[in-house]
Amino acid sequence: MEKLLLLFILTIANFGFSQEIEVNEKNLSKKWVFSDIINDSTEEKKAETREMLEGMVLSFREDKTYTFDFIASREGTWKLNTERKIITVKESGKVKTNTWTVHSLTKDQFVASRNDSAQQIVFKAG
């Protein structure tokens, strides 16, 4: 019973500190650092993926430029479809675009999936 009460208190406390905020350019414009993944893989595969993604940083700026640091640094422009909660990024000098679907956003956490991936990537504000 005590464990259930503690779990309830922690859940309520967490809810108060991590409320969803509106998905808009202003709230997305910051540096986001890889934190975790959400997918249906085994714990072993998740650990491998976490290790691979360690150090990934995604920075959106209010001037609609972005930097994606993962293995190599990429820069370009971004735009947000607020209705669909999709960020479209275009790397400088490239024609192809990529998308990030926003699943949740708080002031300290951003959860998104890249292109059509089922795997969600959790970023922490950095």
Cα dihedral sign, 62-36-11-14: negative
Left if phi > 0, otherwise alpha if psi is -120 to 50, otherwise beta: which for 115? left
Q: Which of 10, 51, 57 is nearest to 34 (CA)?
A: 57
pLDDT of residue 40: 86
Please report which helix (H) or strand (E) contains residue 121, including its range: strand 120-125
Q: Which residues contact 15 (CB under 8 A, 6 or more apart)?
A: none
> Which whole number is the average pLDDT over 15-44?
90
Mean pLDDT of the chain, nearest integer: 90
What is the per-residue pLDDT across 75-104, written as a single tens digit (0 to 9) for each? 999 999 999 999 999 999 999 999 999 999
What distance in Å separates the CA atoms of residue 59 and residue 30, rounded to the nearest whole number? 6
Name the maximum alpha-carbon separation found in the chain: 60
pLDDT of residue 4: 46
Where does 18-110 have alpha helices with state H?
A: 25-28, 43-53
**pLDDT surpasses 60 at 17:** no
pTM: 0.82
- The letter for the amino acid at 55 is G
pLDDT of residue 1: 55
> Which whole number is the average pLDDT over 27-53?
95
Q: Catalogue all structural domains in the chain, each as residue range(s) with its CATH number.
A: 22-125 (2.40.128.270)
